[in-house]
Amino acid sequence: MNLKKISLVLFLAAAFTFVGCSKDENQTTENELRTKVFALNAADNAEISGTATFTEKEDGTTTIFLSLTNSNNDIHPAFIYLDDVTSTGEVAITLAPIECNCEESTTEVSMLDNGTAITFDELLFFDGNIRVHQSASDLETVIAQGNIGINAINEQAK
């Protein structure tokens, strides 16, 4: 009789253990999207700053949302360049320009300008920087800039 009770108690304990621990509690759902924010700092004596927010989308693309403060009414072209902000790297990705008073732009990114596919994870470690320019006719003047990817990681480690 005691052996039956012990067996029953062990069986019930095991059953409650399996019912009580659900795998779903520790897993992220597919609908949870990852986001990374990079700072855009004033450049060329401008008092303009902002952020670049990278958001992973379910289809594998990345939304890059640029937001500035203290800019003027010009249309400001923006690009992701190769290398860090101290270098003169080539344009890797053309971003949507920041227009007028809204001081914002949104770009869906799935590839570099040369056609090479790029994912959210690859952008998080990309050797690049974002520069926002005064206008299409004045690309020499950078009004805000910031390192992204591995360059931002290295900058924070200093």
Cβ-contact 63, 106 below 8 angstroms: yes
Cβ-contact 81, 128 below 8 angstroms: yes
Domains of the chain, each with CATH number or no CATH: 35-157 (2.60.40.200)
Task: Identify the band that residue 109 occupies on the pLDDT scale cut at 50, 70 and 90.
Answer: very high
Average pLDDT estimate for 93-119: 94
Could you report the per-residue pLDDT of 45-103, keeping only the tens digit for each?
778 999 999 999 999 899 999 999 988 888 999 999 999 999 989 999 999 999 867 88
Q: What percent of the chain has pLDDT over 70?
A: 80
Q: What is the pTM of this model?
A: 0.78
Average pLDDT, the chain: 85
Cα(97)–Cα(94) distance, integer angstroms: 9
